[in-house]
Structure 1
Amino acid sequence: EAQEMRGAGRTAQGAGRSQGWGPGSLQVALAALVPGHLPSPGADWQEACDRPRAPQRPGRPANADGPPRARAGGREGGRLRRLYCNVGIGFHLQVLPDGRIGGVHADTSDSLLELSPVERGVVSIFGVASRFFVAMSSKGKLYGSPFFTEQCKFKEILLPNNYNAYESHRYPGMFIALSKNGKTKKGNRVSPTMKVTHFLPRL
């Protein structure tokens, strides 16, 4: 390497004599051959490097498009539906932004749900607008969970009338139900023979 440097220096000196360079010009030429003595980058290049990058939206990759999906055990294939219960004036199951669950007669953004397969015959129910999962406690009370847990799993049962019943996978014998006033009923006080547990998935 030292020999290459000396050879490069002699070449630069010869070129300097042939072109009439002075000692100062030779020093500049030799400095360009020595690592660590490269010319400083131009102002345009430095400005591009110093320019702040646009902040990335937290929680989502930069190339993510469209509405976020429910993540039930990492499974895909969710269905966007409203669960209609034909009691009283008729109610759709809804998940409110504060995590409360109830019924609403009209089609609202809070009643738009994503039903995603968790395992064979078992689904999760996710409020698209509120971003809460429907969950059932050990006492049969429905609530909205910000995280997917065992209490968010429901067995989807097709009934003879073509409605579905949703039984807690964690607590068998407990079902999602709405009263004739559109309020939730405790899952341990109802059965799939009762109309309050019958839901029709529809858009």
Structure 2
Amino acid sequence: MMIVLSIQMSLLPLLICGLLSRLGQPDTPPCNGSQAWTWGCQWDQGDRLAKDGEHLMGIKRHRRLFCQVGIGFHIVVLPDGKITGVHRVDRYSLLEMSPVERGVVTLFGVRSGLFIAMNSSGHLYSSVHYGPECDFREQLLANHYNAYESAAHPGMYIGLSRTGRTKRGDRVTPTMSVTHFLPRL
């Protein structure tokens, strides 16, 4: 009797949270018009896809991108427009990662006020204004690092050399450790 009561009491907060989360949501329509709603009913695919990415849109993350190449470097965007890697964290290494669409982000230097962009030859540069060359596809790799591919120029990735200099995007691939970045707080 006591075991059954403790199990029921442990499920009570879960039940309350479930009920409270449904308060602000509209009623779910039944499947196929006249059929009563069941757990197995299929929703319109377009509605589901539209809602999948909504939780990420507009969320800006402040991170430092760390690359474990050489002695380890953080990407910095300096006020003079230079993009490079530094070993120690400083005020120019804080980046604002803003989602543009699903899997595509912009990298904005918070302190310098400049966007990271990549031109058609694969060189990283900084830009005061947002443009299509500022978009990067964020790819989660098998080793839990991220790779950032230019959305405007597919096949070109952000990479750092063993000395902390930026590498040309057409000379690196996501299998190389120079393109593996760990977003840190």
With normalisation by structure 1, the TM-score equals 0.63
- Dislocated runs of 4+, deviation >4 Å: none
Offset at 1:190?
Answer: 0.4
Aligned CA RMSD, in angstroms, stands at 0.7
1:1-203 equivalences under 5 Å are 76-203=58-185
The separation in 2 between residues aligned to 1:149 and 1:98, in whole angstroms, is 19
The separation in 1 between residues aligned to 2:58 and 2:77, in whole angstroms, is 21
Structure 2: runs of 5+ lacking an equivalent = 1-56
1:130-180 alpha-carbon deviations (Å, 9 max, x no partner) = 000000000000011000000000000000000000000000000000000
Q: Give the count of matched residue pairs.
A: 129
The separation in 2 between residues aligned to 1:79 and 1:185, in whole angstroms, is 25
Identity of aligned residues (%): 61
The separation in 2 between residues aligned to 1:78 and 1:93, in whole angstroms, is 18
With normalisation by structure 2, the TM-score equals 0.69
Q: Could you say which structure has the larger radius of gyration?
A: 1
The separation in 2 between residues aligned to 1:156 and 1:199, in whole angstroms, is 10
The aligned amino acid for 1:150 is P
Offset at 1:76?
Answer: 2.7
**Equivalent position of 1:16 in the other structure:** none
Structure 1: runs of 5+ lacking an equivalent = 1-74
The separation in 2 between residues aligned to 1:158 and 1:76, in whole angstroms, is 20
The separation in 1 between residues aligned to 2:183 and 2:87, in whole angstroms, is 14
